[in-house]
């Protein structure tokens, strides 16, 4: 039985993409637009214990996000439990 070797063929577009940063090309050509959905959000104000804020910052830092974003995630995930 003969062993078949796989030949990986890359097209020219893929080769170009892998060897350069296309960000400047896209900006110059204005061929891409970033769309963000408009989500209405309302600002709130809440008084929190400094120890709680430090805990939030520590947990958020481990995930590479801000503590306010971390708090928002926690509220979103658990609001229906109460």
Domain total in the chain: 1
Q: Predicted confidence band at 74 (pLDDT cuts at 50, 70, 90)?
A: very high
pLDDT for residue 82: 81
Domain that residue 43 falls in: 12-81
Within a domain: 6: no
With helix as H, strand as E and coil as C, how does 18-38 read?
A: HHCCCHHHHHHHCCCCCCCCC
Length reported for the chain: 82
Q: How many whole angstroms separate alpha carbon 59 and alpha carbon 52? A: 11
Within a domain: 28: yes
Within a domain: 70: yes
Tens-place pLDDT, residues 12-65? 766 766 766 656 666 676 666 666 777 888 899 999 999 999 999 999 999 999
């Amino acid at each position: 039985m003969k062993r078949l070797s796989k030949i990986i063929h890359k097209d020219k577009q893929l080769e170009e993409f892998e060897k350069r940063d296309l960000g400047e090309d896209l900006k110059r050509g204005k061929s891409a637009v970033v769309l963000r959905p408009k989500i209405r959000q309302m600002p709130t104000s809440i008084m929190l214990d400094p120890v709680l804020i430090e805990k939030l910052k520590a947990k958020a830092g481990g995930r590479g996000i801000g503590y306010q974003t971390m708090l928002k995630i926690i509220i979103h995930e658990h609001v229906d439990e109460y």
